[in-house]
Amino acid sequence: MSNAIGRLSPSLFFFSSAEVSDPSPRLWNVRFAVGKMAHGKQETWTVAVLLITLWLAQDALGKPQFPEQEKDPTFWNTWAQRSLRSALDLQELNKNMAKNLILFLGDGMGVPTITAARILKGQLLGQPGEETQLEMDKFPYVALSKTYNTNAQVPDSAGTATAYLCGVKANEGTLGVSAAAVRSQCNTTQGNEVTSILRWAKDAGKSVGIVTTTRVNHATPSAAYAHCVDRDWYSDGEMPQDALDTGCKDIARQLFENIPNIDVIMGGGRKYMYPKNTSDVEYPMDKKLNGTRRDGRNLVQEWENRMKGKRAHYVWNKSSLLSLNPSNVDCILGLFEPADMPYDLERNQDTDPSLTEMVDVANNILKKNPNGFYLLVEGGRIDHGHHDGAELHPSCHGVCRLHRPEQRPLSFLP
């Protein structure tokens, strides 16, 4: 945990914490701790109570808003260009234009998790561990980034995905919209949409793909194609009626409508594509995994109908995926679980493909385009391991598994 520590008196300290479960606006995300006086006696409770009372009184007056300029996407675009120019001026770098681009994203891969995973990888190989290298350690350059949301010091995956996929920082819980959009307020969507690198690549004539171990309509992948003020609107079954009446679309629907013909879509999230109470093809007896759509639409069937006459395939299990010859496939929709895919440690290796297997198929389909391709690959269950009662074991294994598909592209990227 990174703390900014300041001294209020010889005996009282305060620190702002970057680890809270329910983040307040970032300027107010502060915790207080009472220390000891220089002579060793405990500070009186009067000071602590007074301080807390003052803090609560200020909070009651209204939390300060983030700067108005941060609601404008051009603010972030201009800042990014200025930062890039400054970095390029530091040294002579390769300025050639890339044909293919693959973004590997480990959701939840902070420095402590990377360190633990690096050690685990080495120990799994029978070594002490600390001296081991992940694939990313072998790259010529490494950098750190600030991951705050415009309205939260501790960010979530939706606002951060909007930042690195669209180049614009956003409010927590929102996808593909600027900070002028307010979470869960449907009427703030229109006019505040921002476009992603996946859209830019498609418009440039490249093939595009999304591969994730979460739902394909989860926060990270959704920012590549959706414009939604609430990351939890997976299907219309999770949306409030007023949002539907106002005209907002659920994320699953946007996956197929916003950017037509995304060439590769693989991950979980089957149940959000089918009408409510439709039994799942793999778990027909588990009603919790039934379809969730209230509009009665079967988005998978609609995709298959739209793709008739094209070399397109829908698959929902490992054997169907690996039986395909990528040379004869131009588009693929793979939905391997009703919701998120299992932790790799718990994955059924007979029915669910690994991240590496999905990336291999995606690469072999996308690389046929002479104009190149863009592929977003997310190891999305790392963060979930942290959330699930601080289960570090699946988190570290998730990072180790992510480094395996990282090895593959090094053999074909020019």
Looking at the structure, do residues 357 and 242 belong to the same domain, yes or no?
Answer: yes
75 located within any domain: no
Looking at the structure, do residues 31 and 145 belong to the same domain, yes or no?
Answer: no
Domain total of the chain: 2
In this prediction, residue 397 carries a pLDDT of 67
Looking at the structure, do residues 26 and 134 belong to the same domain, yes or no?
Answer: no
Looking at the structure, do residues 330 and 374 belong to the same domain, yes or no?
Answer: yes
Q: Is 107 annotated as a binding-site member? A: yes
More confident site: 180 or 65: 180
Average of per-residue pLDDT across 4-31:
34
Is the pTM above the cut of 0.75? yes
In this prediction, residue 62 carries a pLDDT of 56
* Range scoring the smallest mean pLDDT among 80-94, 322-336, 339-353: 80-94
Catalytic hit among 2, 16, 157, 235: 157
Task: Identify the band that residue 406 occupies on the pLDDT scale cut at 50, 70 and 90.
Answer: low
In this prediction, residue 404 carries a pLDDT of 61
> Which residue, of 15, 40, 60, is where some domain finishes?
60
Average of per-residue pLDDT across 302-328:
97
Judge whether 310 and 304 are in contact, CB under 8 Å: no
Q: Is 386 annotated as a binding-site member? A: no
Looking at the structure, do residues 170 and 21 belong to the same domain, yes or no?
Answer: no
187 located within any domain: yes
68 located within any domain: no
More confident site: 71 or 403: 71
In this prediction, residue 412 carries a pLDDT of 46
Q: Is 72 annotated as a binding-site member? A: no
Looking at the structure, do residues 18 and 133 belong to the same domain, yes or no?
Answer: no
Looking at the structure, do residues 190 and 298 belong to the same domain, yes or no?
Answer: yes
* pLDDT tens column, 175-198: 999 999 999 999 999 999 999 999
Looking at the structure, do residues 150 and 20 belong to the same domain, yes or no?
Answer: no
Q: Is 387 annotated as a binding-site member? A: yes
Looking at the structure, do residues 137 and 49 belong to the same domain, yes or no?
Answer: no
* 358 has pLDDT over 60: yes
Looking at the structure, do residues 44 and 155 belong to the same domain, yes or no?
Answer: no
* pLDDT tens column, 29-63: 333 333 333 334 444 444 445 555 555 555 555 55
174 located within any domain: yes
In this prediction, residue 50 carries a pLDDT of 52
pLDDT, mean over the chain: 84
Domain that holds residue 304: 89-411
In this prediction, residue 43 carries a pLDDT of 44
69 located within any domain: no
Average of per-residue pLDDT across 69-76:
95
In this prediction, residue 14 carries a pLDDT of 30
Looking at the structure, do residues 93 and 41 belong to the same domain, yes or no?
Answer: no
In this prediction, residue 208 carries a pLDDT of 98
Average of per-residue pLDDT across 346-366:
95
Looking at the structure, do residues 290 and 343 belong to the same domain, yes or no?
Answer: yes
Task: Identify the band that residue 393 occupies on the pLDDT scale cut at 50, 70 and 90.
Answer: low
Average of per-residue pLDDT across 208-226:
98
* pLDDT tens column, 101-131: 999 998 888 888 889 889 988 898 899 989 9
157 catalytic? Reply is yes
73 located within any domain: no
Please state, for a pLDDT cut of 70, what percent of the chain lies above it.
Answer: 78
Q: Is 218 annotated as a binding-site member? A: yes
338 located within any domain: yes
71 located within any domain: no
Question: Any idea what the CATH number is for the domain that residue 204 is in?
Answer: 3.40.720.10
* Range scoring the smallest mean pLDDT among 6-15, 157-166, 198-207: 6-15
